[in-house]
Homo-oligomer: A and B are copies of this chain.
Amino acid sequence: MRLSQFPLSTTKETPADAQVVSHQLMLRAGYIRQLGSGLYSWLPIGLRTLTKIAAIVREEMNRAGALEMLMPSVQPAELWQESGRWDQMGAEMLRFRDRHQNDFCLGPTHEEVICHHFRQDFRSYRQLPVNFYQIQTKFRDERRPRFGVMRSREFLMKDAYSFHMTAEDLNREYQNMRDAYVRIFTRLGAEFRPVKADSGNIGGALSEEFHILAGSGEDLLAVAQGGTYAANVEAAETKPSGAARATAAQSLEKVSTPGQKTCEQVSKFLNVPLTGKVKLLVVKGEDGGLVGIALRGDHQLNEIKAAKHPLVASPLTMADPADVLKVFGCEVGYLGPVGCPIPVIADFAAAEIADFVCGANDNDHHLRGVNWGRDCAEPATADLRMIAEGDPSPDGIGTIKFYRGIEGGHIFQLGTKYTKAMSVSVLDAAGQAVTPEMGCYGIGVTRLAAAVIEQSHDERGIIWPDAIAPFRVIICPIGSDKSAAVKDAAEGLHADLLAAGIDVVLDDRGNRPGSMFADAELIGVPHRIVIGDKGLATQQFEYKHRRADKAEMIAATTAAVLEKLAAV
């Protein structure tokens, strides 16, 4: 390719409305252009990267034995009514009527559609297992689309759906897909981490997310140092320490703590560590009443885990302070488990401490020297808190450290949630109808491009891994309008690299070196070859990797260039 035939639309100015680096760089480098809120067009250079990501995904899905198909974006309401999700999905699912006043949605996902097709053609256990995937445009009407293509409304997604006779076979395919995802993310050339995840409203039992690690990531990941455990903090378990609770040493004492409401304030006021404080949060219960959740003063509530507790209403809803005042007779900030008028469940860590401080259920007062079982009932315990840095890994191996990540993929064991709702069944070997087990496996193809940029860039622009760079090599001839030797060498190298199957671009626009180099760095081409009369005088090209601080001289031969490319 030649830049004279492949227009770049690069700019030096950082767009004012782009908040994150990937959005800024994708606009500046001319990868994308906005059409409307959360709607982006991919210009030719951007589409090259998007296509390369999609090709890697396709190759590895095919290698894993999944079958590519293509389902429509527009989906009839009837299918979503059948699964029950027509009413469950919020405003994120865009609904409309066609000219005949029939209801449709613009597909945010395709579980219903694949179940519909599966039940048309699959009748026997002999036809299973099967795994269908597509790389297709999805639409989600985000309330606040942001960060460019990172959270856009229309985007390219790879979604796969597998069907199985048994949970064991689903688990086998889930591992097969997990392996394929590891290959995909490895081939992208980005640093990534598969982590245990919450299944959210997709449903199902087991799920993992694949995250591109980046300081700007929206998700916090708990990763065991010296171990293999990794989970989204949302989903990371915590366990009882196993150590016996210390014997009560202090007697119960009510102390005046005027205006001291937060754990931090009380801890400082009474000179006790945060780890010696128990806080009581009040949430709505499954039965419509209130439930108290006891946490250690230094711990944070994990709303997702709490909402799964049988006593707690889902989704988690904090109690109205007015209701708390009515029931407790005091303000939030002075609550505690002693003489508590509502059921209390305690996080494992909160239940392990003795002689603790907590609210006295009386304004401007706390209790100290409190002990479970002596001053109040032994609480029901559960895993209710956010894991914290420095915690032991839940599997006992290593210590938790936090990373930030951008979710690029998500795999789920759905079980029979959708197959049951959509009345899917196949006959087993004995002729009995069986509801197949189902898995689903997504990759945000569009988002991956932005995520890799978040991980890999510098102040001059994008730094692409070779596999998904729009061009692997850029040739920058200096003064080719004046020097036939430079022009010939540049054209020759360009032709040689193309013949070798290398994705190379020749900057034949006749720009000055500074402008050429700035464009090459902004668009993120990993390998740059500069050809000038000075180097050619000693039979040399200048080579620089996008990450390197300095250029180096190499022999002015195609073989020397290929050697550099192979070295990465």
CB of A154 within 8 A of CB of B72, answer: yes
CB of B99 within 8 A of CB of A36, answer: no
CB of B44 within 8 A of CB of A69, answer: yes
Known: A35-B75, A116-B35, A127-B7. Contact between A41 and B67, CB under 8 A?
no
Residue ID in chain B nearest A78 by CB atoms: B36
CB of B5 within 8 A of CB of A65, answer: yes
Residue ID in chain B nearest A136 by CB atoms: B137
**Interface residue ranges of A46-73 to B (CB < 8 Å):** 46-47, 50, 65, 67-73
> Interface digits, A110-137 against B, CB 8 Å rule (1 contact, 0 not)?
0001001100110000010010100001
Contacts of A154 in B (CB 8 A): 72-74
Nearest Cβ distance between residue A36 and chain B, in whole angstroms?
A: 4
> Interface digits, A159-189 against B, CB 8 Å rule (1 contact, 0 not)?
0000000000000000000000000000000
Contacts of A139 in B (CB 8 A): 73-74
Contacts of A44 in B (CB 8 A): 67-69, 132
CB of A70 within 8 A of CB of B47, answer: yes
Nearest Cβ distance between residue A30 and chain B, in whole angstroms?
A: 7
CB of A550 within 8 Å of the partner chain: no
CB of A499 within 8 Å of the partner chain: no
For the complex with contacts A30-B121, A33-B117, A39-B74, 8 further pairs of A-B residues with Cβ separation under 8 Å are A35-B117, A39-B76, A41-B69, A91-B99, A94-B99, A95-B96, A99-B141, A137-B137
CB of A50 within 8 A of CB of B72, answer: no
| CA gap between A505 and B99 in the complex, in Å | 43
CB of A120 within 8 A of CB of B33, answer: yes
Return 6 A-B CB contacts under 8 Å, by A number: A35-B75, A36-B72, A43-B117, A74-B153, A95-B96, A99-B141
Contacts of A68 in B (CB 8 A): 44, 47
Contacts of A94 in B (CB 8 A): 96, 98-99
Known: A35-B76, A36-B76, A143-B99. Contact between A42 and B65, CB under 8 A?
no
| CA gap between A71 and B42 in the complex, in Å | 6
Residue ID in chain B nearest A509 by CB atoms: B126
Nearest Cβ distance between residue A396 and chain B, in whole angstroms?
A: 41
| CA gap between A73 and B38 in the complex, in Å | 12
CB of A19 within 8 Å of the partner chain: no
Residue ID in chain B nearest A120 by CB atoms: B33
Nearest Cβ distance between residue A239 and chain B, in whole angstroms?
A: 41
| CA gap between A74 and B152 in the complex, in Å | 12
Residue ID in chain B nearest A152 by CB atoms: B72
**Interface residue ranges of A2-25 to B (CB < 8 Å):** 5-7, 9
CB of A190 within 8 Å of the partner chain: no
Known: A30-B121, A35-B113, A74-B106. Contact between A69 and B96, CB under 8 A?
no
CB of B71 within 8 A of CB of A41, answer: yes
Contacts of A99 in B (CB 8 A): 91-92, 94, 141, 143
CB-based closest 10 A-B pairs: A96-B96, A36-B76, A9-B121, A44-B67, A42-B70, A91-B99, A41-B71, A39-B72, A72-B154, A99-B141
CB of A517 within 8 Å of the partner chain: no
| CA gap between A9 and B67 in the complex, in Å | 13
Nearest Cβ distance between residue A90 and chain B, in whole angstroms?
A: 9
| CA gap between A76 and B106 in the complex, in Å | 15
